[in-house]
């Protein structure tokens, strides 16, 4: 299912000017989406209505200025490291995280994949 979602994102996102990254850890998926506000709003509405996505929470929305993943229609990171433990996530760590804490894994991922895409 994840491969299908990524394939569709990589096919459709460039047409909308959308870039970003998806971090998958056990049962936690963090996604950073970059692009024009209208395109992001439209994509988010499709994500919410897609039954392959459950328990979707919008944790942060802001104008980031420069994109972190300009060359990636949708980078997926399957590295085994966790930024939060399963216990932390269950205790609400993502909902309590500051904007800086939410951006940190994506900054690290962006640094690990400079200019690739």
Residue 78's pLDDT is what?
Answer: 63
Q: How much is the average pLDDT of 61-87? A: 80
CATH of the domain at 50: 3.30.70.100
Whether residue 94 lies inside any domain: the answer is yes
**Tally of structural domains, the chain:** 1
d(CA 112, CA 108): 6
Residue 51's pLDDT is what?
Answer: 86
Instruction: Kindly report, residue by residue over 9-54, the tens digit of the pLDDT.
Output: 889 999 999 999 888 876 788 889 999 999 999 999 999 998 888 8
Whether residue 51 lies inside any domain: the answer is yes
Residue 82's pLDDT is what?
Answer: 60
5-12: long-range contacts at Cβ-Cβ below 8 A with a sequence spacing of 24 or more?
5/52, 6/74, 6/76, 9/73, 9/74, 10/73, 10/74, 11/73
Range of the domain at 107: 2-112
Task: Give the predicted TM-score (pTM) of the model.
Answer: 0.78
Between β-strands 75-77 and 28-34, what pairing exists: parallel, antiparallel or unpaired? unpaired
Whether residue 117 lies inside any domain: the answer is no
């Amino acid at each position: 299912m994840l491969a299908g979602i990524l394939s569709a994102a990589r096919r459709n996102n460039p047409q909308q000017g959308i870039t970003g990254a998806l971090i998958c850890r056990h049962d936690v998926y963090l996604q950073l989406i970059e692009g024009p506000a209208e395109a992001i709003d439209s994509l988010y509405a499709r994500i919410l209505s897609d039954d392959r996505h459950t328990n979707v929470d919008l944790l942060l929305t802001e104008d980031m200025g420069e994109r972190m993943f300009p060359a990636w229609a949708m980078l997926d990171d399957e590295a085994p490291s966790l930024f939060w433990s399963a216990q932390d996530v269950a205790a609400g760590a993502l909902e309590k995280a500051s904007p800086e804490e939410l951006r940190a894994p994506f900054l690290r991922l962006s640094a690990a994949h400079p200019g690739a895409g």
